[in-house]
Structure 1
């Protein structure tokens, strides 16, 4: 088998070793694609004490062998799920961490782990019919969540991002209006306690940027007694929030991330059902493709975000 490992900041190499055999309850998967996740940017570019270091957690592929006790899969089955590290042509997963894929769904549009995260974000964010929703951050996660939000029937989805191409795609995917962060109308802000009884702000503000600026903006957009949902993955530096403003606005703050295995697999199953029903698609979001030997280029694209960029995947 071949796999990619980090040996220094922003520097990966390909390593070969014998292909592992699946143990009891385990499945050997030939990985065909692995998504490149923003949560891995800092591990990729920041110095670490534990080189060589392996990453990758958004795989889809084909079952090639099963261990004793495996009853859910057989060789040849197409699968996605939780398998890491997965910047590799083969990997081992527990059978309960995989779900089957239909033959007609391309592997690059069947990234189970981020799909589960998007569905969890939607399930944990209580958007009601006719709510006014602001979505701050139109990267891969934000644009994926946008598709799911439409299924809740909000009155208006306001998409916010500094990149013009991201705003244009958000409008194509169903946002009602899109703004640059510096051009958001003042009537969408509630930042003074003297105005808390005015019809200012949105019912639900969702932060999907993973940045301090995005979190600050989302907090200002929530109306009194509204909901702030934090979907963005925050890493690196500590964040600051205006707890005094959150306090007098009496907002509910939701952590839209879920880590429990059972919840991830249930949301993954729901997401795959939505794909099968043509209610959700990764097709407009997967924009840049790389080989396993080009992993550093894939991360560079994620970091620099060239025109039209949404998501890098590694084809293996």
Structure 2
């Protein structure tokens, strides 16, 4: 009887379900987590298809960077009280000693890129081993299925912390996928005077309203709103959405970009940026402060990820999960793999 399975992507478009006779052993300062659920996102599809940027994946690899689970074992020097704790965890394996890490900006670590599910074994597996310092513990009664979305929620939290929304501001969210709908939830908690979600699809727009948006607008309708918003958070990563987000911002407004467009995306108009005196920031991943914010918001009920989940599949269905994520079907929300 095997006690450990994992999805291994050997090379682009080549994967297998590996089995082991025993679970991996945590080393000094590490824990072993029994994975409850792991989300499949567009970057996992990039890993599978071989389109992820050079340096940001290392084959063979076990993907899976969005996960939740329960601490099952600890390595030497790790607090044994962690065993049994429900948890999520950061993905970046930052060095902790460079100037950026020392300032708390671990997603900007200058020692080189290392991340769970891309260059280190991820959570499309029965078990995940990672440094205990990366854990963010959850309440004992936390919904672990919903908690699997706390990684994208942490990215959104990083954007919201950077944006610093203030009550009574006009706010727009460009894109109503997983990131966008989580952003709507966090931004609604800041009591905006107006909160608009921009997306070409009907179903995500309807969901945005249930999460606190005042209205949903298609990109064509949003063109009538150019120059209106104090704050715009872009989450779509489509070819023109960074540019569109800047056009939606009022003069002197703020824009935070979280989507990752493919090469060749439309550039931001430098003249518009300068003349309008916009403040534009970008987010890649999430530092510890954003993780702490997201997990607190989840525990407090301000973040409700569960309604975003549309598919729950076993590890054996990794190929089907990847196809669902890339299908473009508006009825497909967050897809989970459950060991």
Offset of 1:307 from its aligned partner? 3.8
Give a deviation string over 1:133-152, Cα, whole Å, max 9, x none. Answer: 11110000010011000111
Quote the residue 2:33 is aligned against.
29
Offset of 1:276 from its aligned partner? 2.1
Partner SS state of residue 28, structure 2: coil
Cα RMSD (Å) of the superposition? 2.1
Measured in 2, the distance between the counterparts of 1:229 and 1:47 equals 25
Give a deviation string over 1:194-221, Cα, whole Å, max 9, x none. Answer: xxxxxx4211122110112212211211
The correspondence for 2:84, drawn from 76, 79, 95, is: 76
Question: CA contact under 8 A between 1:8 and 1:47: conserved in structure 2?
Answer: no
Gaps of 5+ in 1: 190-199
Equivalent positions of 1:197-236 (< 5 A) are 200-236=227-263
Partner SS state of residue 184, structure 1: helix
Give a deviation string over 1:82-134, Cα, whole Å, max 9, x none. Answer: 36311111121111111222232221111332222121111111222211111
TM-score by length of 2: 0.82
Is the alpha carbon distance of 1:52 and 1:159 closer, same or farther for their aligned partners in structure 2, counting shifts above 3 Å? Answer: same
The correspondence for 1:155, drawn from 182, 193, 202, is: 193
Measured in 2, the distance between the counterparts of 1:277 and 1:40 equals 29
Equivalent positions of 1:95-134 (< 5 A) are 95-111=132-148, 112-134=150-172
Question: CA contact under 8 A between 1:121 and 1:257: conserved in structure 2?
Answer: no
Measured in 1, the distance between the counterparts of 2:265 and 2:80 equals 43
Equivalent positions of 1:162-201 (< 5 A) are 162-184=200-222, 186=224, 188-189=225-226, 200-201=227-228
The correspondence for 2:74, drawn from 66, 80, 85, is: 66
Quote the residue 2:102 is aligned against.
none
**Equivalent pairs, count:** 301
TM-score by length of 1: 0.88
Gaps of 5+ in 2: 92-115, 117-121
Quote the residue 1:140 is aligned against.
178
Is the alpha carbon distance of 1:116 and 1:222 closer, same or farther for their aligned partners in structure 2, counting shifts above 3 Å? Answer: same
Partner SS state of residue 257, structure 1: coil
Is the alpha carbon distance of 1:72 and 1:52 closer, same or farther for their aligned partners in structure 2, counting shifts above 3 Å? Answer: same
Offset of 1:238 from its aligned partner? 5.2
Is the alpha carbon distance of 1:296 and 1:76 closer, same or farther for their aligned partners in structure 2, counting shifts above 3 Å? Answer: same
Are 1:15 and 2:18 matched, yes or no? yes
